[in-house]
Chain A
Amino acid sequence: MKIPRLIPAALVAALAIASTALNAAPPGDAPSAAPGDSDRQCLACHAEAGLSMALANGESLALHVDAGAFARSVHASVGCSACHADVDLKKHPGDVRPARSARDLSVAMVQACQGCHDDSYRAHAASVHGRAQARGDAAAPLCTTCHGTHDIVRASSSGPALREACLGCHADAPAAHDKWLPNTKLHLQVVSCAACHAPTAGKRVELRFYDVAAAREAVTDAVPATNGRGANGAPKTVDAAGLRELVRTIDREGKAGNVVLMGRVEPVAGAEGHRLLAKAQALKDCATCHRKGADPFKKVSLSVVGPDGERVLYEAQQDVLHAPTSIESVRAFYAMGGTRIHFLDVVLALALAGGILAPLGHLVVRKLMRRKDERNHG
């Protein structure tokens, strides 16, 4: 689309007339991994569609594992035995003692999660969800309730999928937010639930490319330029110019007008996102984000999915959200006040000064000239 590209480009040019590198973070998603020998042995049976077993309470427990989804999951590299250490392949499946219920099995599996994710476990235990579980609330969410089972992806990569997990139980949340939160649907798209409901968690913005026409995240092999300041050991980051060049590179791939960079406010670390508190303690102060220097905009990351499906996170400078070039590069993400373009603040100050001083100067000169005229004639 030509018009949408022309407007931001023209604005950037107008502002420019008036007025790089990164340390690749660990991959966001593990790439598809070939299963090891023991995993292949498990999948020989568990990849079979419809495989299930009856539990003691009469529930049917699905035993099928989607081999493809597991291969793409963050846990593919650790294999089946990492979580199912209790399974002895020599005796399996003859030694299986069915759990009383699917819920009991999920509760038992929490221990497996804790083995590697103790920080998240502790944060969850102290959360409103964990306390409900401790009280014996059968509806309290467990690890698998939100994160799934064999298709788990890194929390920072799951994005809106986690929102759907929240809304799965809290279906009335959009209507409840709509009573006080302007632009509710937009807020629920660009702010993760945990960003407000885990108020003590640090926050960051994650930028991702979206293909508007295809309504999904865009895939690209373009790599952002870095600012080259890494020689002294400081992390290289993507700067405003580098990000704009990356966007232009993607545009040159023939996706102009279709691929836009969108942002989403997320907890800084996955563990912190588990510290969910009661809704009365959730953040409701708009100034948390809608002010200059707001925490979420101090840490910016750029998340890019390559043609191989691998996600790479890059650190980006705060300036990518505040530079005039952001009109072109981050045109689909804006938080009033919080990600404002600082150059426009200068323009406003000049306009105010001009608006006040020009009439004042005109008035003074007019009075002086009149006085002089009166002296000359009188």
Chain B
Amino acid sequence: MDRIYVHPLPVRIWHWVNALGFVALIATGLQIRYTDLLSAIPFAAAVRVHNVVGFVLIANYFVWLCFYLFTDKITVYHPELRPAKYYRDTLRQMQYYGYGIFKGQPNPHHVSAYHKFNALQSTLYQIIMILLVPIQFYTGLLLWDVDRFAGSVALFGGVRVVATVHVALFIFFTAFIFGHVYLASLGHTAGAHFKAMLTGYEEVEEAPKAADAAD
């Protein structure tokens, strides 16, 4: 097994802060929404924790954004800039998870330093990080102080609209986390990708140096 460095330190810090933060936000979000069913912590404490963690994650988001904007690692999201191939690779990856993996076929994606995401991963992560997460942060910010952001709340359509969008995305993220953890367990061992996100190094059968050069 070769080891290649695919997760730089800022990305690992961002990832684990984000992971713990999302779990905390989901837990406190459930407590806030379902006070009648859950009583792990008081409502007011859940709101305070939710708000603080929300702001930490907004700051953390800019760690991710700045890292990718100001380094060449941004290419990991579009290593080839070939939309048609990107689209085909996405379908191929879906086909693998939906069929090929059961038949013992090899994963069509090969990890390299500048090609660390498969096309399906890349598509989902971009939708999440460029669209859904900013909307979730924005709606959360509006709900944090509805009066201070009264103009923006009205422009959004009203506090109930803001809350509904926030809850809809909360539902999506809650479901997503299960899928994310499961897919992360599909490395050459169940813990390989988790270990890589801690150490930065992925273990691959052969380091595709030629492919890297081509990227």
Residues of A within 8 A of B (CB): 1, 3-8, 11, 180, 182-183, 185-186, 189, 212, 260, 285-287, 290-293, 326-327, 330-334, 336-337, 339-341, 344, 347-348, 351-352, 354-356, 358-359, 362-363, 365-366, 369-370, 373
Contacts and interface: CB of A to CB of B under 8 A. Distances in A.
Q: Sort chain B's interface into a size bin.
A: 35 or more
B113 interface: no
A352 B161 contact: no
A1 B155 contact: yes
Contacts, number: 131
A7 B37 CA distance: 30
Contacts of B36: 287, 291-293, 337
Contacts of B102: 365-366, 369
A7 B157 contact: yes
A185 B154 CA distance: 16
B168 interface: yes
B3 interface: no
B32 A8 contact: no
A293 B51 CA distance: 25
Contacts of A326: 160
B44 A344 contact: no
Contact of A291 (B35, B44, B145, B175): B35
Contacts of B167: 340-341, 344
Given A186-B146, A365-B102, A352 B174 contact: yes
A336 to B, nearest CB: 6
B35 A286 contact: yes
10 contacts: A3-B155, A4-B156, A4-B157, A4-B158, A8-B158, A8-B160, A286-B47, A290-B43, A366-B101, A370-B104
State the 4 A-B residue pairs at the shortest beta-carbon distance, nearest first. A331-B158, A359-B182, A355-B178, A355-B175
Contacts of A285: 43
Given A186-B147, A286-B44, A355-B177, A336 B157 contact: no
B87 interface: no
B176 interface: yes
Contact of A327 (B97, B161, B181): B161
Contact of B155 (A4, A331, A341): A4
A186 B162 CA distance: 15
B178 A11 contact: no
Contacts of B176: 355
Contacts of A359: 178-179, 181-183
A354 B175 contact: yes
B140 to A, nearest CB: 12
- The CB with the most chain A CB atoms within 10 A, among B37, B48, B101, B168, is that of B168
Contacts of A182: 44, 47-48, 51
A269 to B, nearest CB: 26
A86 B44 CA distance: 54
